[in-house]
């Protein structure tokens, strides 16, 4: 068998895993891999980002929209450490990634060599697996194992630390296919007894409520979930990451859970008699005060990750397994039911929210634009196939609340880590992961500037990303908390901003600024009609609030609909 370098073996191994897109940035210790990539650009598309953090977030956007594993290729030292935030983000949000970083040659390890850093040691707590490739002959095995671990079970990030000597060494290559790792149970078999018990609990419920997490999306379990809730007539609430698991228009979809979620599902969490949580981790932003969270309910928790059981909320029944399978098997045993009075009881809360919050947000009476107004205008214009990408902050909560979802994998946002700067590079990745779908990214003026250099990537790739900058000249979410809970002591949240249209112009990106209601529809139509990237700067009300809101430390049903409720 002909011998090839470890670097070329990497390319062949990636192709064997079906990789077609890599997000990366070259450097000294990963140079052999990039040299090998030069001969494979007809099969692997490399997207040159402007910062390694951008590479990881782009890979996340690609993974979240495509359902495939995102791949990054970076150098050692600062190139590797620049990926840490994205790796931690992917771990929190269960996003399958393989991050390949260069490393100094093995003989130089421990000498404080130029751009040497202990990447394996740094990333072990925030990855599913972190491994150093020291020999060229280990490349095929390591790559196959990395992809299997990243995408199986509860997905997550894997790091391969690729020593430079291993990239240059010669080895025989044959692709490997790993589908089993000792001590790692990727796809646990559900317990038939627990499936039966779960069905019995649901059959006995008078006021059931289904909590839909991202696990439904990751498990491809939309049909199974909808079949079960329609059969048993169970209203649903979704976590932030689970929003597109069910169409917004479904009659049993009662909206978003959590701190800035919809009133009805939050209130009803503390009124239901059975709470069925699927593929979610009972995040504190969903539960509020744990001591006051659903004390009256019998809780059934379905998840593929055993470590999530009883971590935050103690469940009466835990069902381990892939929710695509567990929902189907439970659904087969659930009896048809109608909970008409219970389902109708959500309506008054929805009407209250419409009157006290939504009407003013979508049709504000003042001169200033509101975030929700802009989001809904873009959502309606972009159509049901659009993918929503967000940054973090008020823009994120407003976008999540007022965008409409029809198809799976339609929301890409940083949930667990709440990473400002996520939106712009994630939207780039989403445009590669879902090339036939419109990609709309909403950002605040703070988050946009954190990775604004990725406009260069958009320029080079001509990525057709529709960028909506909700500019309120503040770090909006922190400012909201400062107004409500710190007596308006705006400590370092006002922003002095550049001329974003001039910046877009420098990158050759069409742009437009709007500040009035009458301008909005025309500007949005212009943006959507543009074949390539477009920046729409919406100058929104500076001191507006995202409501409703559960105050920090409050019970999930302690809900503010205005700043006067505090």
Is 564 a member of any domain?
Answer: no
477, 527, 547, 549: the active-site residue:
477
Do 205 and 299 lie in one domain? The reply is yes
Is 30:38 a contact under the CB 8 Å cutoff? no
Do 12 and 153 lie in one domain? The reply is yes
Contacts of 212 (CB under 8 A, 6+ apart): 225, 236, 237, 238, 239, 242, 245, 246, 278, 279, 280
Is 337 a member of any domain?
Answer: yes
How confident is the model over 554-558, as a mean pLDDT? 95
Q: What CATH number does residue 449 fall under?
A: 3.40.50.970
Do 155 and 11 lie in one domain? The reply is yes
How confident is the model over 462-468, as a mean pLDDT? 98
Statement: residue 566 has pLDDT above 70: no
Q: Is 545 helix (H, G, I), strand (E, B) or coil?
A: coil
11, 147, 162, 164: the active-site residue:
164
8, 52, 353, 454: the active-site residue:
52
pLDDT at 129: 98
pLDDT, one tens digit per residue, over 334-345 is 999 999 999 999
Residue 281 DSSP code: -
Rg of the chain over all Cα atoms, to the nearest angstrom? 24
How confident is the model over 41-60, as a mean pLDDT? 98
pLDDT, one tens digit per residue, over 175-193 is 999 999 998 999 999 999 9
What does DSSP say about strands 274-278 and 317-320: parallel, antiparallel, or unpaired?
A: unpaired
Do 260 and 321 lie in one domain? The reply is yes
Statement: residue 1 has pLDDT above 90: no
114, 180, 187, 485: the active-site residue:
114
Residue 124 DSSP code: G
Do 35 and 151 lie in one domain? The reply is yes
Do 431 and 502 lie in one domain? The reply is yes
Do 19 and 78 lie in one domain? The reply is yes
Do 334 and 408 lie in one domain? The reply is no
pLDDT at 366: 83
**158 vs 144: CA distance, rounded Å:** 11
Active site residue 492: no
Q: What CATH number does residue 278 fall under?
A: 3.40.50.1220
pLDDT at 475: 97
Is 220:195 a contact under the CB 8 Å cutoff? no
Is 502 a member of any domain?
Answer: yes
Q: Which among 110, 137, 172 is the end of a domain? A: 172
Statement: residue 565 has pLDDT above 90: no
Is 253 a member of any domain?
Answer: yes
Is 477 a member of any domain?
Answer: yes
pLDDT, one tens digit per residue, over 489-517 is 999 999 999 999 999 999 999 999 999 99
Q: Which among 172, 203, 233 is the end of a domain? A: 172
Active site residue 52: yes
Do 219 and 89 lie in one domain? The reply is no
How confident is the model over 260-281, as a mean pLDDT? 98
Do 208 and 295 lie in one domain? The reply is yes
pLDDT, one tens digit per residue, over 375-393 is 999 999 999 999 999 999 9
**140 vs 136: CA distance, rounded Å:** 9
pLDDT, one tens digit per residue, over 6-46 is 999 999 999 999 999 999 999 999 999 999 999 999 999 99
Do 339 and 457 lie in one domain? The reply is no
Selection from 505, 519, 509 nearest residue 464 by Cα: 509
pLDDT, one tens digit per residue, over 97-124 is 999 999 999 999 999 999 999 999 999 9
Sheet containing strand 274-278, strands side by side: 253-256, 236-238, 208-212, 274-278, 298-303, 317-320
Active site residue 60: no
Query: pLDDT-derived band of residue 360, with 50, 70 and 90 as boundaries?
Result: very high
How confident is the model over 351-357, as a mean pLDDT? 97
pLDDT, one tens digit per residue, over 61-90 is 999 999 999 999 999 999 999 999 999 999
Statement: residue 145 has pLDDT above 80: yes
Number of separate domains in the chain: 3
Is 451 a member of any domain?
Answer: yes
Across the chain, what does the average pLDDT equal?
A: 97
* DSSP H helices in 17-72: 31-37, 52-66
How confident is the model over 264-291, as a mean pLDDT? 97
Query: pLDDT-derived band of residue 365, with 50, 70 and 90 as boundaries?
Result: confident
Q: Please give the angle made by the CA atoms of 269, 275 and 281, to the nearest 5 degrees.
A: 90
Torsions phi, psi for 92 (to 5 deg)? -65, -35
Active site residue 230: no
Do 120 and 238 lie in one domain? The reply is no
31, 108, 115, 542: the active-site residue:
115
Statement: residue 373 has pLDDT above 70: yes
Is 562 a member of any domain?
Answer: no
Active site residue 477: yes
pLDDT at 367: 87
The boundaries of the domain holding residue 166 are 3-172
Is 268 a member of any domain?
Answer: yes
């Amino acid at each position: 068998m002909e011998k090839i370098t470890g670097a070329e073996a990497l390319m062949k191994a990636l192709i064997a895993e079906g990789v077609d897109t890599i997000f990366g940035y070259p450097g000294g210790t990963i140079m052999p891999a990039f040299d090998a990539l030069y001969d494979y650009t007809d099969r692997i598309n490399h997207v040159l980002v402007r910062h390694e953090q951008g590479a990881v977030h782009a890979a996340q956007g690609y993974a979240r929209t495509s359902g495939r594993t995102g791949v990054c290729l970076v150098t050692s030292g600062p190139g590797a450490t620049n990926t840490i935030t994205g790796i931690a983000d992917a771990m929190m949000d269960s996003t399958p990634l393989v991050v390949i970083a260069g490393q100094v040659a093995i003989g130089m390890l421990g000498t404080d060599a130029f751009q040497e850093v202990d990447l394996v040691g740094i990333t072990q707590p925030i990855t599913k697996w972190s491994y150093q490739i020291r020999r060229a002959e280990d490349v095929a095995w390591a790559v196959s194992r990395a992809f299997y671990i990243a995408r199986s079970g509860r997905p997550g990030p894997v790091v391969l630390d690729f020593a430079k000597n291993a990239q240059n060494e010669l080895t025989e290559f044959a692709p490997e296919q790993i589908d089993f790792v000792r001590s790692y149970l990727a796809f646990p078999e559900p317990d038939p007894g627990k499936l039966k018990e779960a069905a019995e609990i649901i059959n006995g419920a008078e006021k059931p409520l289904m909590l839909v997490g991202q696990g439904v999306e990751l498990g491809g379990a939309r049909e199974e979930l909808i079949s079960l809730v329609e059969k048993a007539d169970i209203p649903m609430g979704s976590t932030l990451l689970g929003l597109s698991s069910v169409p917004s228009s479904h009659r049993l979809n009662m909206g978003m859970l959590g701190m800035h979620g919809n009133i009805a599902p939050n209130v009803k969490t503390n009124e239901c008699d059975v709470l069925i949580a699927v593929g979610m981790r009972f995040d504190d932003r969903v539960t509020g005060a744990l001591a006051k969270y659903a004390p009256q309910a019998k809780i059934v928790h379905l998840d593929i990750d055993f470590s999530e059981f009883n971590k935050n909320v103690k469940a009466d029944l835990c069902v381990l397994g892939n929710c695509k399978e567990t929902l189907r098997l439970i659904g087969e045993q659930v009896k048809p039911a109608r909970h008409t009075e219970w389902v109708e009881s959500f309506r008054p809360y929805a009407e209250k929210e419409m009157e006290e919050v939504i009407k003013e947000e979508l049709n504000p009476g003042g001169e200033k634009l509101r975030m929700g107004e802009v989001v809904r205008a873009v959502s309606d214009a972009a159509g049901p196939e659009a993918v929503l990408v967000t940054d973090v902050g008020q823009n994120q909560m407003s976008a999540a609340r007022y965008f409409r979802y029809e198809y799976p994998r339609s929301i890409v946002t940083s949930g667990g880590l709440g990473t400002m700067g996520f939106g712009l590079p994630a939207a780039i990745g989403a445009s590669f992961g879902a090339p036939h779908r419109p990609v709309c990214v909403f950002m605040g003026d703070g988050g946009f500037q954190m990775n604004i250099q990725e406009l260069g990537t958009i320029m080079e790739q001509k990525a057709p990303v529709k960028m909506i900058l909700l500019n309120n000249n503040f770090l909006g979410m922190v400012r909201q908390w400062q107004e409500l809970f710190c007596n308006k002591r705006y400590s370092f949240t006002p922003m002095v901003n550049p001329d974003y249209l001039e910046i877009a112009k420098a990158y050759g990106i069409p742009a437009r600024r709007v500040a009035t209601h009458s301008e909005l529809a025309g500007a949005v139509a212009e943006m959507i009609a543009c074949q390539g990237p477009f920046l729409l700067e919406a100058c929104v009300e500076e001191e507006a609030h995202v409501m409703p809101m559960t105050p920090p430390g409050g019970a999930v049903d302690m809900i503010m609909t205005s700043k006067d409720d505090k």
